[in-house]
Amino acid sequence: MTVRTTRQRAVTALTATMCAVLVAGLAACGSDGDSAGAEGGDGDVSLRIAWSGSDERNTRTQDALDLFMEQNPNVDISVEYTTATNFWDRLTTQVAGGNAPDIIQMSGQVLSQYATSDVLLDLGPFVDDGTIDVEGWEEEPLEAQTIDGTLYGIPPGLDGHALVYDATKLQELGIEPPSETWTWSEFGDLAREIAAAGGEGYYGTEDGGPQYEVLQSFLNQRGKQLFEGNELGFEAQDVKDLWQFWGDLREDGAAVPADLQTAQGANPENSGVVQGYAAMDFTTSSQYTNFVGLSQGEVGMATYPFGDDGEPGQVWRAGMAWSITRTSANAETAAKLIDFLVNDSEAGALLQTTRGVPASPAIREEVLGTVDETEQRSFEHLETVQSFDAQVTPVLPTGFGDFNDLYQRVYYEYAFGRMSLDEAVDQFMSEAPGLLG
């Protein structure tokens, strides 16, 4: 979907207030967990772990934590989970008050913000001494949690950019589904064909124009990046070309109009694919099972369209990670718990794909053999994306939340006709650089 998610709104609010709040809060924070020996002795240990997500994620994670406590009876774990919006607001307050949880489910959208504010602990020593085992893991997801040589998170799962489509509707219309290596031109043609065959009020695709992930792939296909350090990695013409593409689709009635898209919200249950007014939508492979469960008909999954010159530009990512706060008095036990969550076979069987395809290759193979056909598609899609020399989403710069908010807000000014294309692009390119770093 392309309307701002609750997490994105929370990230924007966090970016605006976080630095001052966290710096003040750190002065009040008591213990520093930099030393793995800070716990001392073999007595009882208390940990707090915080995350956000679905009810299924909550249940599966609690089951895994119960197993850890059963195996480690001296450890007591308190859990804190909530919605994405409340999660980040609450965490900012906790950090400012010196009361942060020991372990946080960190988002790649705010990793830089927390790391540069000295909230997170360097996990490198725990990897070096074997407390957290990442032997045999792909390097890229770990690099995406590393800033200036310091490892701040251990990713539990992976996914890839994906396009979902209403396979049942396409079959009813007698239209062939997308191929594995289709192009943006073919995508546009397909969206127009679907809209024409579907009749009034039915659209070929949701509008991907305001979605930074679409811009990311589009830029990759041009040999560019979203960011070069704390600076933009693209030019105004790149944004103009992409927004023009989507503007043409809207004008032709092939893409969902701005008023409908903004009214529906961003969650899978509000997608046009689920609600029955659009055939295609941009998402990630980890959301595929949600689309399947919410939809009346069969849902297919494809790659993002390739560049018209055949450049794949595909993207995979470790969208979240387990991080330890610097104020944790029990950092070594926290590290052991993280290792358990990502590397233990029994934990993997409980957690399955609740945070994406397992990042540990060994656990990935074990879980693949136990999940149903729908979830297997997420594994297959990740392999497909990776096979095209795909890029892993790198560490996003501080200020990314504000960048993303501006990108969406100005795009919708254009989509609603309140700005011309040139005016919208000019405003975005003039304001965006000042938000980063």
Residue 24 — very low, low, confident or very high, per pLDDT cuts 50/70/90?
Answer: very low
Q: Is the pLDDT of residue 72 over 90?
A: yes
Pair 227, 432: CB distance under 8 Å:
no
Tell me how far apart the terminal alpha carbons of the chain are, to the nearest angstrom: 27
What is the percentage of the chain residues whose pLDDT exceeds 90? Answer: 86
> Does 326 lie in the same domain as 290?
no
Report the alpha-carbon distance of residue 313 to residue 58 in Å, rounded.
34
Report the alpha-carbon distance of residue 350 to residue 64 in Å, rounded.
6
Helix (H, G, I), strand (E, B) or coil at 194: helix
Q: Who has greater pLDDT, 140 or 85? A: 140
372 domain residue, yes or no: no
380 domain residue, yes or no: no
pLDDT at residue 4, rounded to an integer: 39
Query: Tell me: the pLDDT tens digits for 96-132?
Result: 999 999 999 999 999 999 999 999 999 999 999 999 9
Tokens standing for residue 170: 């396409």
27 domain residue, yes or no: no
pLDDT at residue 264, rounded to an integer: 79
Report the alpha-carbon distance of residue 86 to residue 6 in Å, rounded.
9
Average pLDDT of the segment spanning 353-357: 95
User: Which runs of consecutive H residues, i.e. helices, occur in 29-129?
Assistant: 55-71, 84-96, 111-116, 124-128
> Does 312 lie in the same domain as 214?
yes
> Does 286 lie in the same domain as 200?
yes
348 domain residue, yes or no: no
> Does 75 lie in the same domain as 194?
no
> Does 209 lie in the same domain as 143?
no
Residue 55 — very low, low, confident or very high, per pLDDT cuts 50/70/90?
Answer: confident
Pair 290, 274: CB distance under 8 Å:
no
Q: Is the pLDDT of residue 361 over 80?
A: yes
Average pLDDT of the segment spanning 351-368: 96
Average pLDDT of the segment spanning 64-72: 98
378 domain residue, yes or no: no
Q: Who has greater pLDDT, 384 or 20? A: 384
Q: Is the pLDDT of residue 41 over 60?
A: no
Residue 86 — very low, low, confident or very high, per pLDDT cuts 50/70/90?
Answer: confident
For 103, the domain range is 45-155+318-343
> Does 217 lie in the same domain as 171?
yes
Count of the separate structural domains present in the chain: 2
> Does 233 lie in the same domain as 327?
no
Most confidently modeled range among 25-29, 260-264, 339-343: 339-343
Residue 263's CATH number: 3.40.190.10
> Does 229 lie in the same domain as 200?
yes
Q: How many CB atoms lie within 10 A of CB 281?
A: 26
> Does 325 lie in the same domain as 289?
no
Q: Which residues of 79-115 are buried (b: 16+ CB within 10 A; e: fewer)?
A: eebbebbebbbbbbebbbeeebbbbbbbbbbbbbbbb
What is the identity of the amino acid at 264? Answer: Q
Query: Tell me: the pLDDT tens digits for 218-265?
Result: 999 999 999 999 999 999 999 999 999 999 999 999 999 999 999 877
pLDDT at residue 39, rounded to an integer: 43
> Does 304 lie in the same domain as 323?
no
Q: Mean pLDDT across the chain, nearest whole number?
A: 91
Report the alpha-carbon distance of residue 255 to residue 192 in Å, rounded.
8
Average pLDDT of the segment spanning 54-83: 95
151 domain residue, yes or no: yes
> Does 333 lie in the same domain as 284?
no
Tokens standing for residue 113: 């913000």
pLDDT at residue 42, rounded to an integer: 56
Can you point out the beta strands (E) in 121-224?
146-147, 150-151, 157-166
- Tell which residue, 267, 251, 239, has the closest CA to residue 407: 239
pLDDT at residue 17, rounded to an integer: 46
Q: Is the pLDDT of residue 32 over 90?
A: no
pLDDT at residue 267, rounded to an integer: 78
Q: How many CB atoms lie within 10 A of CB 401?
A: 26
355 domain residue, yes or no: no
DSSP string, 112-147: HHHHHTT-BPP-HHHHHTTSS--TT--HHHHHTTEE
Residue 29 — very low, low, confident or very high, per pLDDT cuts 50/70/90?
Answer: very low
Pair 318, 155: CB distance under 8 Å:
yes
Q: Is the pLDDT of residue 74 over 70?
A: yes
379 domain residue, yes or no: no
Helix (H, G, I), strand (E, B) or coil at 40: coil
Query: Tell me: the pLDDT tens digits for 398-428?
Result: 999 999 999 999 999 999 999 999 999 999 9
Q: Is the pLDDT of residue 285 over 90?
A: yes
> Does 303 lie in the same domain as 325?
no
